[in-house]
Chain A
Amino acid sequence: MAYLELKGIEKFFGTHRAIKGIDLEIQPGEFVVFVGPSGCGKSTLLRLIAGLEHIDGGQLNLDGRDITALPSSKRDLAMVFQSYALYPHMTVYENMSFALKLAGERKEVISEKVRRAADILNLTDYLERTPGALSGGQRQRVAIGRAIVRAPKVFLFDEPLSNLDAALRGQTRVEIAQLHRDLGATTIYVTHDQVEAMTLADRVVVLRDGLIEQVGSPLDLYDRPVNQFVAQFIGTPQMNVALLSTLPAVVQAAAPASAKGGSLGLRPESVHITTDADGIAAKVVLVEALGAETLIYAQTPEGAQVVVRQAQRALFRVGDAVRLQFDLSQAHWFDTEGRTVQNVA
Chain B
Amino acid sequence: MRHHRPIYTPAMLLRTFVAWAVTLFLFFPLGWMALTAFKTELQAIAVPPLMLFEPTLENFAIVQERSDYMHYALNSLITSVSATILGLALAAPAAYAMAFYPSKATKDVLLWMLSTKMMPAVGALMPIYVLSQAAGLLDSLFALTVIFTLSNLPIMVWMLYAGFKDIPKEILDAARMDGASLWQEARLVLLPLAMGGIASTGLLCLVLSWNEAFWSLTLTAAKAGTLAALIAQYSSPEGLFWAKLSAASLLAIAPIVVFGWFSQKQLVQGLTFGAVK
Contacts and interface: CB of A to CB of B under 8 A. Distances in A.
B104 to A, nearest CB: 8
B178 A99 contact: yes
B179 A81 contact: no
Contacts of A132: 274-276
A50 B178 contact: no
Nearest to A47: B173
Interface in B141-166: none
Interface in A191-243: none
B178 A98 contact: yes
A89 B192 contact: yes
Interface string B157-184: 0000000000010110111111111001
Interface string A45-81: 0000011100000000000000000011110011101
A102 B184 contact: yes
Nearest to B168: A83
B168 A130 contact: no
B178 A146 contact: yes
A164 to B, nearest CB: 17
B193 A88 contact: yes
B274 A88 contact: yes
A277 interface: no
Contacts, number: 69
B189 A102 contact: no
Contacts of A78: 177-178
A85 B193 contact: no
B273 to A, nearest CB: 7
A102 B180 contact: yes
A250 interface: no
B179 A103 contact: yes
Nearest to B277: A130
B172 to A, nearest CB: 9
A73 B174 contact: no
Interface string A85-119: 11111000000001100110000000000000000
Interface residues of A, number: 26
Contact of A73 (B180, B192, B276): B180
A89 B274 contact: yes
Interface string B34-64: 0000000000000000000000000000000
A83 B170 contact: yes
Contact of A130 (B176, B178, B274): B274
Nearest to B173: A52
B177 A77 contact: yes
Given A79-B173, A85-B168, A99 B179 contact: yes
A297 B200 CA distance: 61
Contacts of A103: 179
A87 B179 contact: no
A82 B175 CA distance: 15
B193 A89 contact: yes
Given A73-B181, A102-B184, A103-B179, A85 B274 contact: no
Interface in A120-164: 130, 132, 146, 150
Nearest to B178: A99
29 contacts: A50-B177, A52-B173, A52-B176, A52-B177, A72-B176, A73-B176, A73-B178, A73-B179, A74-B179, A78-B177, A79-B173, A81-B170, A81-B173, A83-B168, A83-B170, A85-B168, A85-B170, A86-B174, A87-B174, A87-B175, A88-B274, A89-B192, A89-B193, A89-B273, A89-B277, A98-B188, A102-B180, A130-B277, A132-B275
Given A52-B173, A52-B177, A74-B179, 14 more contacts: A71-B176, A73-B180, A79-B173, A81-B173, A82-B170, A85-B171, A87-B175, A88-B193, A88-B274, A89-B193, A99-B179, A102-B178, A130-B277, A150-B178
Ranked nearest first, the 9 interchain pairs of A and B with the lowest CB-CB distance are A85-B170, A99-B178, A85-B174, A72-B176, A89-B274, A89-B192, A79-B177, A102-B179, A73-B179
Interface of B: 168, 170-171, 173-181, 184, 188-189, 192-193, 273-277
Interface of A: 50-52, 71-74, 77-79, 81-83, 85-89, 98-99, 102-103, 130, 132, 146, 150
